[in-house]
Amino acid sequence: MTPDQVLDRCRTEWMFHDMPRDAVDDMLTELREHLEDSARAGRSAAVVVGDDVAAFASSWAAEHPSRPPRNTPGLLARHAYAGSVALLSASHLVGRTAEAELVPGSVAAVCLFSALMTFTPYWRAVLHWPLWRWTALSCTGFAVLLALFLIGREPVLLRVPWWATALLLLPGLAASAVSWWRGKRREHAAST
């Protein structure tokens, strides 16, 4: 693994561990300097970070003073919200219907999605797995979802009209806009 690949992996880990941007930049600078010094001494990047880069980056993030405390209920709620909105939107768009049906299968799918997103390092699979493993995971996920909807398609718990889905989407859009605006403001402050 080249130093740039190591730095890229570490950046991903730290961002998905919700480390503040300033702390990530600081850690990357420190690690880059160390990798450069080691390279000058004829040592490889693996000598610095070991065989498991993700474990190295995670352990550093876990000890860092800037790491925000993990808010598991909050994370679960955010992922459940995102999963619900995505599922309802997909029901309207794919089914071309003004009314999406909420069934036990969809509740189970949202719960599964939230749990996976909250308790697993999913980004490692998304960004770093080889294609064959990623394809296998996608097929398994699709099969599980299909089974959930076949088993739990009745009874209909709730019928959600399109305008309710649109209303539900609004807080997420507002939060994304605020986050984008804050990022722009931070970039502007850093450049001046």
Partner 1 sequence: MGKEPAAPREQRHSQLLRGVLDLCLLALIAERPRFGYEIVEALGESGLELVSEGSIYPLLARMERNGLADTYRAPSPSGGAPRKYYRPTEAGLAELEAGRTAWLAFRGAVDQALSAGAPTEDTPEEGK
Q: Which residues bind partner 1 (CB under 8 A)?
A: 26-27, 29-31, 33-34, 37-38, 43, 46-50, 56, 59-60, 62-65
Choice between 63 and 189, CB closer to partner 1: 63
61 contacts 104 by C-beta, under 8 angstroms:
no
Query: Closest separation between CB of residue 32 and partner 1, Å?
Result: 10
Evaluated on CA atoms 89, 110, 9, 58, the torsion sign reads: positive
Choice between 5 and 179, CB closer to partner 1: 5
Query: Closest separation between CB of residue 73 and partner 1, Å?
Result: 24
Choice between 25 and 111, CB closer to partner 1: 25
φ/ψ of residue 75, rounded to 5 = -65, -45
Query: Closest separation between CB of residue 186 and partner 1, Å?
Result: 20
The tokens of 67 are what?
């790491």
Query: Closest separation between CB of residue 47 and partner 1, Å?
Result: 6
The tokens of 138 are what?
């996608």
Choice between 25 and 107, CB closer to partner 1: 25
Helix (H) or strand (E) holding 99: strand 99-102
Query: Closest separation between CB of residue 74 and partner 1, Å?
Result: 22
Evaluated on CA atoms 66, 67, 71, 77, the torsion sign reads: positive
With both helix axes pointing from N to C terminus, report the angle between 3-16 and 53-63 in degrees, rounded to the nearest 10: 50
Choice between 29 and 138, CB closer to partner 1: 29
